[in-house]
Structure 1
Amino acid sequence: MKPIIQCRDLSKRFGSKTVLQQLSFELVQGDVAALIGPNGAGKTTLFSILCGYLRPDSGSVSLFGHPAGSSALFGKVAALAQDAQFDPAFSIGEQLDFYGRLQGLSRKAAHEETLRVLALVDLADQVQQKAAALSHGMRKRAAIAQAFIGSPQLILLDEPTAGLDPVNALHIRQLISHLSGEVSFMISSHNIFELEQLCNKVLYLEQGKLQAEAAGDADKQQCYLTLQLEDDNADAVTQALSQLPGLVTIRPLQKKELLLCYEPQHNANFDLALLQCLAANGLRYRNLTKGQTLEQKLFSAR
C-alpha cells in the first residue's frame, strides 16, 4: 500500500539545538497513528513540518507523494493546533463558513459544510452562538469541526481532548473511531489510555529521536498476559507458574502485577492452564488480561 506520509532521515535544528534527529517512518491510508513523547521531544516541530509551516534542515518528507506544504495537498490535509481559538466577535457558523470559503467552496456550499461538520461534533444547534457563549468543551469540539471541513484524507490533531470532561472526551474519541475507516489521523496526546483506544500505530519521540514504533500485537510467535494478583505473593505465583509449558518469561510490572510472555504454538490453552495452576496452588488473582498495554510496550523495558 502506498504511504500517505513518508519521512526519511528528517532533521531540524533551531540554532545550536537539534530538535529532530533523522526521523524515518511511514503511515498508510487508514492508519490512526499516535505521536507520544515528553514535553520538548519535538512533536510540535514534526507537526509543523508535516503541515508545511517549517522546512526540515535535512532529509525528506512527503504527503500523498507531494512535498509538505505543496499546493497539491490543499483540501487533502487538515490540522488542529492544541490551543486553536475562535474570534469572539463572530458566531461559530460565520467563522466555519469563512474557513469553507478559503477552501474554494461557494457561499452556499460552505454553509452546508459548516452544518455538516457541526453535526459531526453534536453542535448543529450552536451555529449562531459566539465562542464566549459556549463551554470549554463545546469550543474544543467546534475547533475540531473546523479540521473536518472539506472531508480531508489526513487530519493531524494536537491534544484533541486536552482539558475536556469525560463525556466530551468520549464524544471526540467516538468520532475519530467512527471516521477512521475513511480518514487517516495522526494524534499527539499525553493520554496513553486514549491513544490505546484509538490508534493502530505508535511513534514515540524522545529528545528528537524516534525511540519506538509500535503497532498492535502483530507478533504471533509470542503472546502476552497481564496478571493482577489479589495478594502480595508475586514470588510464590512466579514459582508456581514457572513450569507451565510454553512459558517464555515472567516479569514483574508493578506491585501485585506480572507480565507473562508465552508461545501459543507450544501451549494453545496457556491462559486456561495458568488459571488451573493458580487454583491448584490456592493462589488468588484479581484480573487476567490478554496482551500488553501500550504503556507496557513503550516503557516496561526502559
Structure 2
Amino acid sequence: MSYLIEARNLSKSFGQKTVLQDLTFSLPAGEPIALIGPNGAGKTTLFSLLCGYLPASRGELKVLGHKPGSSALFGRVSALPQDAMLDPNFSLLTQLSFFGQLQGMSKSTAVAESRRVLSLVDLAANAEQKATALSHGMRKRVAIAQALMGSPELVMLDEPTAGLDPVNALQVRQLIAKLSNEASFIISSHNIFELERLCGTVLYLEHGKLVQQSQVHSAATQGYLTLTLEAGAQTDVLPMLRQLPGVISVSDSQKHEYVLQFDAELAPDFDLTLLMALRQHGWRYRMLTKGQTLEQQLFAVTAKQA
C-alpha cells in the first residue's frame, strides 16, 4: 500500500533541545488529517520537515513516496502558514499569477490558474481588487486559494480559521470539505470541535512525541453514547446510569454530561433503554449523541497514560 506520508523514528533537535522524538506513523490519502497538540508540541516543526524546509536529525520521512524537498514533489505539495500575508500593493490576480509563474507556469497559464482558484473560494469577482479592500475572512480564503495553485496532491493548512468569525469559519470548513475529493489536507488547529467535523484521522502530539493516532469516525462511535441532561437533574443520575443493562462504564466528563460505554451485542437497543429510564425518573435531556466527541477520545486516552 502506498501512503501519503510515512515516518519512521523521525526526530528533530535544535542543539540540545529535542523538538520531535521518534515519531512513527503512516497516513493514507483521502479524508483530511488533523494535527493536534498544545503550543510547543512540535506541530510547526513537523510541517517544516514535511515541506523540506528543515532536515530531520534522525529517522526517515517520505511524502508521496519521496524525500521532502525532492524535485519529484515540486508542485505536488503546498503549505499555508497561519500568518500568511498578502501584498497590499497588488491585485489578487497579479499576486496569484506571480506565484503561478514561480511554479513554472507561463504567464497566460498562471492567469488562468489564478482565476480558477479564486473561483474555488468564491472570489472570482474580486480578482482585480487589492487585499486592503477585503475582509479578514476573504483574505484568508485568498491565502487558501494560493495554496491550491497548480492542484497539489497534499495541502497543509496551519490554523486556517484562526481569528475568523463563525460565519467565515464555516465557509472555510465547507471549502475544505468540498475540495477533499481533489487533494489530501493536513490541518493543524487548536479547535478540536472544528477538526472533528472535518477530519477522518487525528495525530495528537505532546512534548514532541506522538501520543495518539486514531480514526475520528470508527470505533469511537461503537458502544458509546454521550448524554447531556438539563440543569437541575437529581444527584443520583450516575448510579442509575451504571445499573442499566449492558453498561460497561459511565463517566461524567463535565457538568450534566455523561459518556456511557455499553456492550452493543448484549444491548443492541441500549439507546431506547436509556430513554425509557430517563422518562421513568422524569429527567429531561438536552442532547443524546452516538459515540464520543474527539475531545473525549483524545483526553480519555492521555489521562489513562498519565
Same fold judged by TM-score > 0.5? yes
| Displacement after TM superposition at 1:254 (Å) | 0.6
3-state SS in 2 of match to 1:66: coil
> Is the 8 Å Cα contact of residues 23 and 209 (structure 2) preserved in structure 1?
yes
Report whether the alignment pairs 1:253 with 2:253: yes
The one-letter amino acid paired with 2:237 is V
Distance 1:218 1:162 in 2: 28
Aligned match of 2:292: 292
Q: Which moved more, 1:142-151 or 1:23-32?
A: 23-32
3-state SS in 2 of match to 1:253: strand
Moved over 6 A (4+): none
Distance 2:165 2:241 in 1: 42
3-state SS in 2 of match to 1:238: helix
Aligned match of 1:15: 15
3-state SS in 2 of match to 1:105: coil
Q: Which moved more, 1:219-228 or 1:55-64?
A: 219-228
Report whether the alignment pairs 1:146 with 2:157: no
| Displacement after TM superposition at 1:140 (Å) | 1.2
Report whether the alignment pairs 1:115 with 2:115: yes
Distance 2:260 2:181 in 1: 33
1:92-138: CA deviation from partner (whole Å, max 9, x where unpaired): 11110011112222211111110010011111111111222222222
The one-letter amino acid paired with 2:299 is F
Aligned match of 2:129: 129
| Displacement after TM superposition at 1:233 (Å) | 4.3
> Is the 8 Å Cα contact of residues 212 and 298 (structure 2) preserved in structure 1?
yes
Distance 1:283 1:83 in 2: 48
> Is the 8 Å Cα contact of residues 226 and 290 (structure 2) preserved in structure 1?
yes
| Displacement after TM superposition at 1:228 (Å) | 1.0
Aligned match of 1:59: 59
Q: Which moved more, 1:228-237 or 1:65-74?
A: 228-237
> Is the 8 Å Cα contact of residues 76 and 154 (structure 2) preserved in structure 1?
yes
| Displacement after TM superposition at 1:24 (Å) | 1.1
Report % sequence identity.
Answer: 59
CA change 1:117–1:217 in 2 (3 A) is: closer
Distance 2:161 2:281 in 1: 45
3-state SS in 1 of match to 2:181: coil
Distance 2:130 2:110 in 1: 18
Q: Which moved more, 1:241-250 or 1:43-52?
A: 241-250
Aligned match of 1:93: 93
> Is the 8 Å Cα contact of residues 253 and 300 (structure 1) preserved in structure 2?
no
Aligned match of 2:216: 216
Distance 1:225 1:145 in 2: 39
| Displacement after TM superposition at 1:234 (Å) | 6.3
> Is the 8 Å Cα contact of residues 225 and 290 (structure 2) preserved in structure 1?
yes
> Is the 8 Å Cα contact of residues 4 and 29 (structure 1) preserved in structure 2?
yes
Distance 1:91 1:287 in 2: 48
Q: Structure 2 unaligned runs (5+)?
A: none
1:21-79: CA deviation from partner (whole Å, max 9, x where unpaired): 11111111113111111111111000000000000100010011100110100111111
The one-letter amino acid paired with 1:64 is L
Calculate the TM-score normalised by the size of structure 1.
0.96
3-state SS in 1 of match to 2:7: strand
> Is the 8 Å Cα contact of residues 118 and 145 (structure 1) preserved in structure 2?
yes
Calculate the TM-score normalised by the size of structure 2.
0.94
1:177-218: CA deviation from partner (whole Å, max 9, x where unpaired): 011123111000111111011000111111101111121242
Distance 1:234 1:3 in 2: 51
Distance 1:100 1:217 in 2: 37
Please give the residue correspondences for 1:271-282 in structure 2 after superposition, counting only pairs within 5 Å: 271-282=271-282
> Is the 8 Å Cα contact of residues 222 and 263 (structure 1) preserved in structure 2?
no
> Is the 8 Å Cα contact of residues 250 and 260 (structure 2) preserved in structure 1?
yes
Distance 2:41 2:221 in 1: 33
> Is the 8 Å Cα contact of residues 37 and 204 (structure 1) preserved in structure 2?
yes
Distance 1:110 1:221 in 2: 45
Aligned match of 2:203: 203
Distance 1:89 1:238 in 2: 62
Q: Once superposed, what is the RMSD of the aligned Cα atoms? A: 1.6
> Is the 8 Å Cα contact of residues 30 and 182 (structure 1) preserved in structure 2?
no
3-state SS in 2 of match to 1:56: coil
Report whether the alignment pairs 1:229 with 2:193: no
Distance 2:114 2:300 in 1: 45
Q: Structure 1 unaligned runs (5+)?
A: none
> Is the 8 Å Cα contact of residues 77 and 152 (structure 2) preserved in structure 1?
yes
The one-letter amino acid paired with 1:154 is L
Report whether the alignment pairs 1:81 with 2:81: yes
| Displacement after TM superposition at 1:161 (Å) | 0.9
> Is the 8 Å Cα contact of residues 221 and 265 (structure 1) preserved in structure 2?
no
> Is the 8 Å Cα contact of residues 220 and 291 (structure 2) preserved in structure 1?
no
